[in-house]
Amino acid sequence: MDKWIKRICNLLIMMGILGLSGCLTSPLAADITALEGATGYIGKEDIKWGTGQPTDTFTVTTYDGGSATLTKVPDPDAADESIIKGVWYVAAMAGDHGNAALTGSLAWVIATLAGDPATVILPGDQTYQISTNLTVPATVCLVMHRGAEFSVDNTKTLTINGTFEAGLYQVFSGAGSVKFGSLVTEVYPEWWGIDGVADEVQLDIADTALTDGTIILNRNDSYAIDDDLIIDNALWIKKGAVLNIAITKTLTINGPFEAGLYQTFNGTGVTFGEDVCTEIHPEWWGIDGTADEVQIQQAIESASGLEGATIKLLPKDYNTVATITVNRDRINIVGSGEHATRIMFAPTADDVCMEWDEGGTMISQCTIRDLSFYTDDTTLNKVAMRLEDIDIFEMKNVQISGSDANGWTGGTESIGLQIQGRNIGSIQNINIFADVPISIEDNPNSTIDIDHFNFNNLYLTAKNDSTTPCVRVADGVNLQNVTFDGVQAWIFGSYGFYWNDTTTTSTSLSLSFNNVRLEQSTDTTGYMFYISHNTYLQNLSFHNIFGTEKLNGYYLRNILNTCIKNSVFTNNVAGIALNIDLSVRNLKLNSNYWQTGTTFTSSDQTLISGTVQQQGPLPTNAIYQATDATYNPEPHFLTDAPISGTIKTLLDQGKAEIAQDTFVGYAFIASSSSYPAIYAINGVNASVTEVNDPGTLYEPTEDNDTTTNIYWDAGNVRYEINNEEGASRDYYITLIGRTR
């Protein structure tokens, strides 16, 4: 039985190839026994002919005594000569397959179907000419056997609105065009004859042919892109297929892109358009564990057409020997975990591992997170990360270290994080072990060096027994609104924070340290905080600072408004707790502990107020002011209710406001030197009335020597108190009355 089935199948295949679909007037229908290659093998009389209907069946006996039902072959002399067993075949020799008047042509089959759904097969090893525009309806499925090829004449279009089936072989040729409808969602450039030379031509034709779909590269070979190419449809590159892009040429991918974690590109000219992919993998350029910075750089360069891009690094080591440069906005370098993704750096000369630099202009909205930088080198000057003129930058969950006992070390000094401008930076959850963990330096493009930066949760370890600090600010840096907070552990180093400025001409503003613990330094000459400004740093704050081991405490110069609060200074070698001079104005101490045996180094400073210290060189709470300054604190101003006043301190000849001209009531004044007094404040009447002065030490006019004066100041349009007693006095002032 198998033998007979095989013979019948061979017959059906032969009939399709020989064109049984030919018209009544064609040689195929005249005498099938006269066909070359068939004569002597089978005749028409040997075939059970039918009409092509499902009822055209007959029964044959099988070898085992059973039976099988077979379908009769349609009679080529009948009306349905192009259909065999419900599948239509097209005769290649029909001529112009776009001409419905030619019996057996594709257009004729489509017309014969009259809208009925059908599968139409084009037998292989034959060319089907399209000399007339032809549209294949959505009801027709075209099947192209290997070797079957549409040749579309110049200026003509073959439009295929139905489904389409073909393997990875050429099925289209000619100067005309092919256009697929919405039912064809996947095409292969092989359909237009890929040959490894200038394959961008076939890719471009495939992209143009699609209405909205995916170009699939599926062969285990390279595709030569020898000229610029833009792909607007989706592109899916399967494993083994590689686009080989010629030097200076560009492949622009504007549609969705899909590929696995394998090489898909060879060359630098890849550009992704907007919204193409959410992540770009360096593996697409063939990461091999040697000089991986090349592939990472190519991934960064490919994002030039994107509003923003994520360069995704896998949980493995990336071995680099030269610099990776982020040179465009909104690039996110994202690893797979601080201890999972490592960028290994083995330079051959002094170098930077990764830098953010857009060539003289500000670079914006970049991030790096969830990875580490690591080196085995101990001989060269290295920088792990250099930020040059950045704006809105986030660094999170990053570690910088090395195999040496001193971490990221080598040369004169190696730096973990180097910041060279500009503003709005968030540095958080960072662990750096380096010669200099953080170096803040001058911006080469702007006077804005570091502005609005927050350093949160830092574990900084400077090189042990070194002359380098944990954080260093270079000479000439302009600083504004910089905060260190969260968990701050600073280990080793000759200083915790070091800033010796001798050149800036503008004032820096608002530097704050919170929760910093400094420990394990062996340097007895350095300080926890050494801040000396060339002009002035305004508003310096220390809160919850803990210093131990051998470092000295605070060295401050040219600071306006400093507060040290809830902090502890211990030193086992009797170091200097606080070192200030006349250039430090308005220093406040609040709830601090100073170890006994440590010292307070000061010149030209006056203790304005303070509790008597229980131990150590400084009061727990105190206010210090430079001796040449006039201290005019804000007055205590309360109305409508009797409330006890707070201390107000005036140096000799110092003046301060008591009330505005809208206040009417009484001022109760108590002096630290002697008697109190009561004065009536007469509001808009611009006058005062002495109510009580038991010690005769108060006067109702200004500038009376040896007394305290309560008066109306017409120039300042307010009521004032004036200390002329020859020395500093503390006054408690309580106002009882009302405002008009």
User: Regarding beta strands 676-682 and 688-692, do their DSSP bridges make them parallel or antiparallel, or are they unpaired?
Assistant: antiparallel
Q: Is 620 exposed, middle or buried (0-12, 13-18, 19+ CB in 10 A)?
A: middle
Q: CA–CA separation, 412 vs 642, rounded Å?
A: 67
Q: What is the pLDDT of residue 613?
A: 62
Contact 192, 206 (CB under 8 A): yes
**Tally of CB atoms within 10 A around 703:** 12
Alpha carbon distance, N-terminus to C-terminus of the chain = 119
Task: Provide the residue ranges of all domains of the chain, joining segments of one domain with +.
Answer: 2-135, 323-463, 508-624, 647-739
Question: Are the C-beta atoms of residues 137 and 162 closer than 8 Å to each other?
Answer: yes
- What are the counts of helices (DSSP H) followed by strands (DSSP E) for the chain? 5, 60
Q: What percent of the chain has pLDDT over 90?
A: 67
Q: Report CA 716 to chain centroid distance, whole Å.
A: 55
Supply 323's token pair.
């610099």
Strands 436-440 and 324-326 turn out to be unpaired
515: left (phi over 0), alpha (psi -120 to 50) or beta: left
Quick one: tokens of 11? 């017959």
The answer to whether 587 and 594 have CB atoms below 8 angstroms apart is no
Return the bridge partners of 149, or none: 127
618 contact partners, CB below 8 Å, separation of at least 6: 577, 578, 589, 592, 594, 600
AA identity, residue 187: V
User: What is the rounded distance in angstroms from the CA atom of residue 438 to the CA atom of residue 419?
Assistant: 8
Between β-strands 622-626 and 605-610, what pairing exists: parallel, antiparallel or unpaired? antiparallel
Q: What per-residue confidence (pLDDT) applies to 573? A: 73
In the 8-state DSSP scheme, what is residue 280?
Answer: B
- The b/e string for 367-386 (b: 16+ C-beta within 10 A; e otherwise) is bbbbbbbbbebbebbbbbbb
Per-residue pLDDT tens over the stretch 619-671: 888 999 887 765 444 444 433 333 445 567 888 899 988 989 888 999 999 88
Question: Cα angle at 626 between 622 and 629, to 5 degrees?
Answer: 115
**What burial class does residue 80 get, using C-beta atoms within 10 Å of its C-beta: 0-12 exposed, 13-18 middle, 19+ buried?**
middle
Q: What is the CATH number of domain 647-739?
A: 2.60.40
Contact 225, 245 (CB under 8 A): yes
Contact 165, 191 (CB under 8 A): no
Low-confidence ranges of the chain (pLDDT < 50): 1-43, 79-81, 85, 631-644
CB within 8 A of 342, min separation 6: which ones? Answer: 316, 317, 318, 371, 372, 373, 374
Q: What is the side-by-side order of every strand in the sheet holding 676-682?
A: 647-650, 729-739, 663-671, 676-682, 688-692
The whole-angstrom separation of Cα 435 and Cα 427 is: 19
User: Closest Cα partner for 416 from 483, 489, 469?
Assistant: 469
CA distance 241 to 438: 44
Pairing of strands 663-671, 676-682: antiparallel
For 87, the token pair is 């599948």
Rounded Cα gap, residues 497 and 413, in angstroms = 17
Q: Compute the distance between CA of residue 574 and CA of residue 524 in angstroms, rounded to an integer.
A: 10
**Helix (H) or strand (E) run with residue 299 in it:** helix 293-301
Q: What is the pLDDT of residue 51?
A: 57
Check residue 633 and give its pLDDT: 47
Q: In sequence order, which residues have a C-beta less than 8 Å from that of residue 647 and are 6 or more positions away?
A: 609, 730, 731, 732
- Looking at this protein, which amino acid is placed at residue 130? I
298: tokens are 């190519």
* 163-180 per-residue burial string, b: 16 or more CB within 10 A, e: under 16: bbebeebbbbebebbbeb
For residue 624, the number of C-alpha atoms closer than 13 Å in the C-beta half-sphere is: 27
Determine how β-strand 584-590 pairs with β-strand 552-565.
parallel
Dist CA 231 CA 143 (whole Å): 26
Q: Could you give the CA distance from residue 102 to residue 95 in angstroms, rounded to a whole number?
A: 7
- Polymer length in residues for the chain: 740
CA-CA-CA-CA torsion sign (20, 21, 27, 30): positive
CB 624 within 8 A of CB 605: yes
Cα diameter, the chain:
148
